[in-house]
């Protein structure tokens, strides 16, 4: 859409364009730019908007990419500029998705992260290792939204979720995660109240029934699918028995132990919630996180298990798991030392022990998030479609998902995770 200063209504530029909400007008864009740039001479002349993500790429908010054309005074003359901003908007259309997002407090968590904690975490790290884009503006109602720096003009983009991340991508991602965790330790040491700000996460007795329902329906759909795989049929009954207990299993795995090593977890570390920058030969050279709605203060095992269960390419997770854990622990220890943290990082032995103790968290991610990751883009559904359709997720039927589960289910069974 294009909005012009002298036009009272948005002008459609194509039938494929996003329906620009009425609040997203020139005056609003001008207010945001003047505040974020600290320059009251800014005058916005045009804005252009389009969806920032495809169906299946983002579930908990509506994302709009807005290009703003504006002028400002510089040295006694007006200069023209363009800036791209991502608007992340809490769902405003009534329905299951809107109810789930508003009751779960997801947006409030991200607002807290973007306006307070992440800003502090980025400041303690070297600028070349920043963890996120800049938060430009927060609005708490009508609608609840975040305006965030668009990282695309800086060369960042999503990797391919269907093929999984190769070793180079995974190492960059785990270096980023290690810095995220280390910076959170440093901030929590200075401000212990930060620990209590992120007490909910994905699994909590405080979360609404709708979120619990998402996991129940996902596991039920998986049990039904596995029952159609002749060689895996014996696991279908065990998975079906987990359905009513899976959310509590998630709560138990999330439980914080104060005598363990704890960090602020990103909480939703999968391939679509990180962006990569590439060199001229398409090698990944930089990494940054997006989407901070599920941050939770507890064991780093959550982020590690979630990432390892959903995002690496099959050969990487099968053959390079120890390499990845070494990379993570090396950067975690180094960064915590640089930040003068009093807390000691775990040893490799301790890290493997906490991953083993909380292994059910990785299993739940494999059962519920992995089918979404591996769903072909042409068949992707949004959250409302998935949940209103009895969680009929085409990703469950993908060959790549089936191959992975044929290897993982016997392991989960051997570890006792499929037994109540």
Predicted pLDDT at 389: 56
Stretch among 129-133, 159-163, 361-365, 373-377 having the lowest mean pLDDT: 373-377
Query: Taking a C-beta distance cutoff of 8 angstroms, is the pair 300, 333 a contact?
Result: no
pTM for the structure as a whole: 0.89
- From first CA to last CA, the distance across the chain in angstroms is 53
Average pLDDT rounded to a whole number, residues 23-45:
94
Percentage of residues of the chain with pLDDT beyond 90: 72
For the chain, the residue count is 420
Query: What 8-state DSSP symbol labels residue 191?
Result: -
Q: Examine the pLDDT at 15 and tell me if it is beyond 50.
A: no
Backbone angles phi, psi at 140, to 5 degrees: -90, -10
The single residue listed with the structure tokens 């949004």 is 382
Q: 252 CB contacts (<8 Å, ≥6 apart)?
A: 360
Q: Examine the pLDDT at 69 and tell me if it is beyond 90.
A: yes
Tokens of 151: 């990282």
**Confidence category of residue 92, pLDDT binned at 50, 70, 90:** low
Predicted pLDDT at 375: 83
Rg (the chain; Cα; Å): 22
Average pLDDT rounded to a whole number, residues 37-41:
94
Round to whole Å and give the CA distance between 212 and 238: 19
**Confidence category of residue 95, pLDDT binned at 50, 70, 90:** low
Average pLDDT rounded to a whole number, residues 155-169:
94
Average pLDDT rounded to a whole number, residues 94-106:
59
User: Cα 105–133–334 angle (5° rounding)?
Assistant: 100
For residue 239, how many other CB atoms are within 10 A of its CB? Answer: 24
Does the domain at residues 99-132+159-414 carry the CATH identifier 1.10.357?
no
**Confidence category of residue 386, pLDDT binned at 50, 70, 90:** low
The burial of 414, by beta-carbon neighbours within 10 Å (0-12 exposed, 13-18 middle, 19 or more buried), is given as: exposed
**Confidence category of residue 6, pLDDT binned at 50, 70, 90:** very low
Predicted pLDDT at 377: 66
């Amino acid at each position: 859409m294009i909005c012009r200063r002298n036009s009272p209504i948005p002008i459609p530029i194509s039938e494929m364009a996003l329906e620009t909400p009425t609040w997203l007008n020139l005056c609003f864009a001008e207010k945001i730019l003047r505040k974020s740039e600290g320059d009251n001479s800014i005058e916005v002349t045009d804005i252009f908007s389009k969806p920032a993500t495809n169906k299946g790429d983002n579930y908990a908010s509506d994302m709009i990419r807005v290009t703003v054309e504006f002028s400002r005074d510089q040295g006694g003359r007006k200069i023209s500029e363009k800036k791209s901003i991502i608007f992340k908007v809490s769902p405003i259309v009534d329905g299951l998705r809107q109810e789930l997002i508003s009751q779960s407090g997801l947006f409030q968590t991200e607002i807290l992260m973007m306006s307070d904690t992440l800003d502090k975490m980025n400041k303690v790290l070297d600028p070349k290792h920043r963890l996120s884009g800049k938060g430009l503006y927060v609005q708490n109602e009508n609608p609840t939204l975040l305006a965030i720096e668009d990282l695309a003009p800086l060369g960042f983009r999503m990797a391919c979720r269907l093929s999984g991340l190769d070793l180079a991508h995974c190492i960059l991602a785990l270096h980023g995660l290690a810095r995220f965790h280390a910076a959170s330790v440093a901030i929590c040491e200075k401000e212990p109240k930060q620990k209590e700000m992120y007490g909910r996460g994905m699994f909590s007795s405080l979360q609404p029934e709708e979120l619990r329902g998402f996991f129940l329906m996902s596991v039920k759909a998986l049990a039904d699918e596995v029952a159609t795989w002749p060689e895996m049929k014996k696991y279908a009954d065990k998975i079906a028995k987990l359905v009513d207990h899976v959310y509590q299993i998630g709560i138990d795995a999330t439980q914080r132990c104060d005598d363990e090593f704890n960090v602020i977890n990103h909480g939703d570390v999968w391939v679509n919630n990180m962006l990569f920058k590439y060199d001229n030969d398409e090698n990944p050279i930089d990494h940054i996180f997006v989407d901070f709605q599920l941050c939770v203060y507890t064991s780093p095992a959550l982020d590690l298990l979630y990432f390892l269960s959903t995002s690496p390419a099959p050969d990487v997770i099968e053959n390079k798991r120890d390499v990845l854990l070494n990379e993570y622990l090396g950067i975690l220890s180094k960064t915590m030392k640089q930040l003068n943290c009093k807390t000691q990082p775990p040893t490799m032995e301790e890290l493997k022990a906490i991953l083993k103790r909380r292994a059910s968290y990785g299993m739940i991610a494999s059962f519920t998030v992995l089918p979404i990751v591996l769903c072909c883009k042409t068949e992707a559904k949004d959250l409302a479609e998935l949940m209103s359709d009895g969680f009929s997720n085409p990703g469950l039927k993908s060959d790549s998902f089936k191959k992975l589960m044929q290897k993982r289910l016997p392991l989960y069974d051997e570890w006792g995770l499929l037994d109540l």
